[in-house]
Amino acid sequence: MNPIAAAVFAAVLVVAIGLFARRAVLIYRLIRMGKPAARFDDIPGRARAEAVVVIGQSKLLQRLLPGLMHAAIFWGFIVLLPTIAIAMIGVVDPHARLPWLGRQGWYAFLVDLFALLVLAGVITAFVIRKVQRPMRFAGSHLREADLILLLIAGIVVSLFLWHASQIALGINEYPAAWAPISSLISWGLHHSWTPYVERAAVWAHVLFILGFLVYLPYSKHLHIFVAAINVFFGRTRARGRLEPINFEAPTDADVRFGAATAADLTWKQMLDTVSCTECGRCQDVCPAYNTGKELSPKLLMMALRDQLLSGASTPLVPNAVTDNVVWDCVTCGACVRECPVGIEHIDHIVDLRRNLVMVESRFPDEAATMLRDVDRAGNPWGKPQSDRAHWADGLGVRVLSAGEAAPDVLFWVGCAPSFDERAKQGAISTAKLLKEAGVDFAILGPRESCTGDPARRMGDEYTFQKQAKQNVGTLNEARVKKIVTTCPHCFNTIGNEYADFGGRYEVVHHTDFLAGLVREGKLKTLAGDRKITYHDSCYLARHNDVREAPRELAAAAGQAVEMPRNRERTFCCGAGGARMWMEERRGKPINEERVREAAGTGAEILAVACPFCTVMLDDGVRTTGAKLQVIDLATLLSEAVERRRTRDSPTSTGGG
Amino acid sequence: MSALVLMETNDASLQMLTLARKFGEPLRSVPMDAIEPFAPDAIAAVLALAADELGVSAVVAAGTDRGNEVMARLAARTGLPFAANCISAEPGETVRVVRQRWGGSLLETAILRSPRAVITVAPHTVRVTDGPQPKDLDVEPYLGRLAPADRVVQVTDHVAAAGGGVSLAEAKVVVSGGRGVGSKEGFAIIEELAGLLGGAVGCSRVVTSAGWRPHSDQVGQTGTKIAPDMYIACGISGATQHMAGCKGAKRILAINADSEAPIMQNADYAVVGDLKEIVPAISAEIRKTR
C-alpha cells in the first residue's frame, strides 16, 4: 500500500462526497417541503413498476434504437457498479483485491462485455445526437449531455486500459482468458512504461467516477439517482383520476388551491421536475407542441425545476411558464404515458390551472360561459335540463323518476349526446341496440347533470365537486350498480373519480358493452365493405385501457384499417382538458391534423367512440374538406345489425 | 382608531362608508377624482402618505373596478395584505372579514393580520346607513411629494368601442355567415345586408378557424353571446356551440341549402336554397322599398 496515494485518494473522496452531499441534502430538503401526496399504498404494485420500467427499461425500449442505447448503458452500469470499489482499492494498492468477486472469471467476463456495451451505447448516443438530431431535443441542455457522455466514455475507456495494463503486467488476479477485450488491448501494452499506464488508468478511472458523482446532482443527469425513486412513487391508482381538494375539512395545503409558487407543488411533483432528463419523448407526442403551440411538456418540467431550485417565491405563472402554456394542454396523457422516468405532467398542469381559476380568476374568457352554465344549468351549453331526454323522443326509452330503483343497466347519456345534434346519433343508436338485445335499461333524463369533468379539467375543482356530489346523490338514491355511457369523459369521471365522493359503480363504456352483446350473440352483425378507421379517444385508450372492444365493433361493421398513431399512442382530437370550450388561437388546429392522418389511410369512415371526438373531428372534416364521414361506432354497429337482418330475411323488409 | 376612505361619487361608496365607520371616527377621505386624469399609482401614493400621517387603522374603498385597482396598488407598495370585495369586517386585534369569492358564488371568512386593514367593500352587499360623513383631506400637499414614476400609468384618452358600427353584442339585427358562405370575399353580400338593416356581421366558429373573419365576429359558446331582435343565419348548420351564442335572439331566420341542418329546427323562418342568390335578393328588395 502506498500511503501517499491513500492520503490523496482519501482527500479527493471526502471532497467529492461532500460536494455531492451538499447538493443532495438541498434537493432532499426542498422535496420534503412539498405538499403531501398519498404515494405509499400498494407497495407490491410499486415494486412491479420498478422492475418493469426501471430494470426492464420498458418505456425506453418503446423506441428501439435510443432504447437499446440507454439499456446498454444502464445495464452496463449496474454490472460495473462493483468495479468502482475494485478500482478504489486498486488506487491505493495495485495488488489488493475485492474479496471473492474481484477474483471471479465470469465477473471479469461480464465487466469486459458490458463495458463494451456501454461504449457502444455512448457512441450510439453521439450518433443520435449529432447525426440524427431528433427534434425532441429542441430546448434541452445539449452541451450538458455531451459532457456526461464524454465522462461515461472516459470511465469505460480508462477501465479497459487499467484492466489491459494489469494483464500486461501480470498482476491480474482473474484469468486473463475471461477478459478477451482487455487481453486484446494488453498486447499493445508490453513496454517499460506500462506500470505508469496502469497507475494513470486507475487514477483516471476513479477521478472520472468521482467527477461524475459530483456533476450529476448539478445537472439533468440527476435522474440517475431520482428517476428510480420517481417511478417507485408513480401513481398506482387510475391514471384518469385527479387528486381532490378537501373543501369540507381543508388542511393548510388544501387552502392553497393548486400551485401558485414552486413551494405549492406536492413532493411528488417536485420529484418529477428533478427527474426530468430532457429527453423530449413527451414533446415528441404532445398534440399541442406538434401543432405549433407554446406548450412543451418537457420545457414545462424544466421551467418548474429551474424555479424550484432557484428558491424563488414568485408565482409560477407567468414567471416559469406563460398562461398560454397552461391552457394549451388537452390532458390527453400522451406525455405521461411516454415518460421513461414516471413524470405525471397532467397533475402539474391541473394544479397550475386550479390556482389560476380559483385564486387568480384568470383563464381564457370564452371558457367562463361553460363554467357558469355547468354550475347553474347542469350542462356546459346552458340548455334547459327539461330538454335533456328529448334526444330519445319516440325511441321508447324509460326515464327513471325519483324514488324508482334503477334497472340492470343505467344508461348515462352525458351532456353532448343529450344536446348536441351531431353527438346525439351515437346515443340514439346505442339505445336502439340495447333494446334490440333485450337489455333492461333506463336513463335519468332531467335528473342527470354534467359530471363536472370539463370544470375539473379547467381547474374549477369547486364546481366539479358540487356536480359530483349531486350526481352521486342521485345515483345512490336510485341504487345504481351498473352504468353504461357513450362518453369517455363521463366514463372516466364516474368510474375513476366519483369513488372519492362515495359513488362506487361498475362503469362500462358503450363500445365495451356492445362488443359483449355481439360476442354473446345477442346482436348479429354483417360487415359492410366500406373502409373504416377508428380514432381512439384519449380517455378510453390511454387513460382507461379500452382499446380492443372498439376494434371488435369496427371489424364487425366494415373493413377496419389503422391510423399510424393508434391505441395507447393515439393523437388527441383537441377537445380534452376542457379545450372543447376554448378557442384554439395558437398554431394549427389539432382536429385537422388528426383528420388528415385519418384521410391518409384511405378510409371512407372515421369511426369514433366519444361525443367530443365526434364534434371536433366532424369540424375538422368540414374545414379540411377531407372525404370522410365521422360516425360513432354504435351507429356503425346498428347498420351492421340491420345489414344482417336484411340478408337473413330478405323478404320481410316490409316489417311483415 | 380611525379610517381613511377612497370616495367615488356613486352608491357603492356610500355603502362602503357603513363598513368603514366600524373602524372608528373621524373618517377622512380622498376623492377618486383628486387626480385628473385618473392615475391609480398616484392615488395609491397619496393614500399611503396620508394613512401614515393620520395613523389610521384602516384604508377602505368601494369594490369597483377603480377602487380595487387603486387598493391593489396601495397594498403592493406598502406590503400590507389586501382583502377585496368584503361584505363585512369586524375590527379587533386581528380583523375578521367575510369576502366574496368566485364571482360571489362563495363567501370566505378570513382573518387579516395587519397593522392597517386594506379592504374594499363589494358593491350592493351593505346597506347605506346614517352616520357622520367623511371630511375630504387637502391632497395638494401630497401631490408635491409624488415621484414621476407614480404618474406613469394614467388615462390618456377615451376611445369609443371599436368598429364604429353597431357592436355585435348589442345589435338589434345580426346577419351571420357560416361555412356555406364559401370564402372571405363571400362575406361581401353578408356585409351589404347587415349594412342595409343597420345591423352587425357575425359568423360561426368554422369561419374564424378558416381565417375569413376575426374572432371578434364569432357568435357562439366561445364567441360573443347575442340577443338581437332578428338573427339571420346564412349557411350556418347550427352546431350546439353556435346555438349557445344566439339562443337569446327573439327571431331566427335561417338560410341554408340543407333542409336537414339543425338550425332549421331552431329557426322561426327557414329558407332552403343557395344563400348566394337569396341574400342579394333580400338586399335588392330592401333597396326597392326605400
**Which of B183, B240, B263 to mutate to probe the A interface, most A CBs <10 Å?**
B240
Q: Average of pLDDT values for A568-582?
A: 96
Q: Is A367 on the interface with B (CB under 8 A)?
A: yes
What is B173-289's CATH number, 3.90.78.10, 3.40.50.1220, 3.30.70.260, 3.30.1490.190? 3.40.50.1220
**Burial level of A550, CB count in 10 A (0-12/13-18/19+)?**
buried
Give B-chain residues touching A358 at CB under 8 angstroms: 102
Task: Name A645's Cβ contacts closer than 8 Å, sequence gap at least 6.
Answer: A524
Asked if pLDDT for residue B139 goes beyond 70, the answer is yes
Give the per-residue pLDDT at A652: 55
Give the per-residue pLDDT at A656: 40
How would DSSP label each residue in A305-319?
HHHHHHT--S-HHHH
| Mean pLDDT, all residues of chain A | 94
Give the per-residue pLDDT at A413: 97
Give the per-residue pLDDT at B132: 87
Q: Could you count the other beta carbons within 10 Å of the beta carbon of residue B198? A: 11
DSSP structure class, residue B137: P
DSSP structure class, residue B203: E
Q: Average of pLDDT values for A137-148?
A: 93
Spatial distance between the Cα atoms of A290 and A284, rounded to a whole number of angstroms: 7
How many angstroms away from the CA of A470 is the closest CA of chain B?
Answer: 17
Whether the Cβ atoms of residue A620 and residue A589 lie closer than 8 Å to each other: yes
Strand partners, A399: A443
Spatial distance between the Cα atoms of A506 and A494, rounded to a whole number of angstroms: 9
Give the per-residue pLDDT at A650: 72
How many angstroms away from the CA of A382 is the closest CA of chain B?
Answer: 7
Q: Does domain A524-647 have CATH number 3.30.70?
A: no
Q: Is B210 on the interface with A (CB under 8 A)?
A: yes
CA atoms within 13 A on the CB side of B226: 37
Q: Average of pLDDT values for A114-130?
A: 96
Q: If we measure between CA atoms, which residue out of A324, A591, A615 comes closest to residue B210?
A: A591
Whether the Cβ atoms of residue A541 and residue A562 lie closer than 8 Å to each other: no
- How many pairs of residues across A and B have Cβ atoms under 8 Å apart? 56
Spatial distance between the Cα atoms of A587 and A584, rounded to a whole number of angstroms: 8
Q: Does domain A3-32+63-232 have CATH number 2.30.30?
A: no
How many angstroms away from the CA of A360 is the closest CA of chain B?
Answer: 10
Q: Average of pLDDT values for B17-27?
A: 90
Q: Average of pLDDT values for A106-119?
A: 95
Nearest CA in chain B to A376: B105
Q: Average of pLDDT values for A192-207?
A: 93
Strand B173-177 to strand B200-203: parallel, antiparallel, or no bridges (unpaired)?
parallel
Q: If we measure between CA atoms, which residue out of B239, B174, B172, B231 comes closest to residue B204?
A: B239
Taking the CA atoms of B261, B266, B267 and B270 in sequence, report the sign of the dihedral they define: positive
pLDDT in tens, A299-340: 999 999 999 999 999 999 999 999 999 999 999 999 999 999
Give the per-residue pLDDT at A655: 45
Q: Is A361 on the interface with B (CB under 8 A)?
A: yes
Q: If we measure between CA atoms, which residue out of A21, A22, A154 comes closest to residue A87?
A: A154
Asked if pLDDT for residue B161 goes beyond 70, the answer is no
Taking the CA atoms of B66, B69, B71 and B74 in sequence, report the sign of the dihedral they define: negative
Task: For chain A, give every domain's residue range.
Answer: 3-32+63-232, 252-363, 374-518, 524-647
pLDDT in tens, B184-201: 999 999 999 999 999 999
Q: Average of pLDDT values for A129-135?
A: 93
Spatial distance between the Cα atoms of B151 and A146, rounded to a whole number of angstroms: 51
Cα–Cα separations (whole angstroms), residue A249 to A243, A245, A253, A290, B102: 15, 10, 11, 42, 19
- In residues, how long is chain B? 290
Task: For chain B, give every domain's residue range.
Answer: 3-151, 173-289
Give the per-residue pLDDT at B101: 81
Domain A374-518 sits in CATH at 3.40.50
Domain B3-151 sits in CATH at 3.40.50.620
Question: CB A581 to CB B222 under 8 A?
Answer: yes
Residue B245: its H or E element: helix B240-246
Q: Is A464 on the interface with B (CB under 8 A)?
A: no
Nearest Cβ partner of B223 from A366, A383, A589?
A366
Q: Average of pLDDT values for B249-264?
A: 93
Spatial distance between the Cα atoms of A319 and A171, rounded to a whole number of angstroms: 59
Give the per-residue pLDDT at A255: 83
pLDDT in tens, B27-77: 999 999 999 899 999 999 999 999 999 999 999 999 999 999 999 999 999
**Which of B221, B226, B241 to mutate to probe the A interface, most A CBs <10 Å?**
B221
Give A-chain residues touching B105 at CB under 8 angstroms: 375
Grid cell digits, residue A103: 477474483
Asked if pLDDT for residue B103 goes beyond 80, the answer is no
Q: What is the pTM of this model?
A: 0.85
Domain A252-363 sits in CATH at 1.10.1060
Grid cell digits, residue A368: 367562463
pLDDT in tens, B201-233: 999 988 998 889 998 999 998 889 899 999 999
| Mean pLDDT, all residues of chain B | 91
Strand A506-509 to strand A441-442: parallel, antiparallel, or no bridges (unpaired)?
unpaired
Spatial distance between the Cα atoms of A339 and A70, rounded to a whole number of angstroms: 14
Q: Is A421 on the interface with B (CB under 8 A)?
A: yes
Q: If we measure between CA atoms, which residue out of B81, B77, B78 comes closest to residue B118?
A: B81
Give the per-residue pLDDT at A172: 86
How many angstroms away from the CA of B185 is the closest CA of chain A?
Answer: 17
DSSP structure class, residue A22: H
pLDDT in tens, A350-376: 999 999 999 888 999 889 989 999 999
Question: CB B239 to CB A615 under 8 A?
Answer: yes
Q: Is B54 on the interface with A (CB under 8 A)?
A: no
Q: Average of pLDDT values for A379-403?
A: 94
How would DSSP label each residue in B155-194?
-----PPTTSS--TTT-SEEEEE-GGG-SSGGGHHHHHHH
Q: Average of pLDDT values for B265-283?
A: 94
Q: Average of pLDDT values for A482-508?
A: 98
Q: Average of pLDDT values for A147-166?
A: 95
* Same fold flag, A374-518 and A524-647: yes
Asked if pLDDT for residue B159 goes beyond 80, the answer is no
Give B-chain residues touching A422 at CB under 8 angstroms: 239
Encode A439-471: b = buried (16+ Cβ within 10 Å), e = exposed.
Answer: bebbbbbbbbbbbbbbbbbbbbbbbbbbbbebb
- The two most distant CA atoms of chain A are separated, in Å, by 106
Spatial distance between the Cα atoms of A94 and A100, rounded to a whole number of angstroms: 16
* Same fold flag, B3-151 and B173-289: yes
CA atoms within 13 A on the CB side of A153: 13
Spatial distance between the Cα atoms of A82 and A91, rounded to a whole number of angstroms: 15
Spatial distance between the Cα atoms of B125 and B89, rounded to a whole number of angstroms: 12
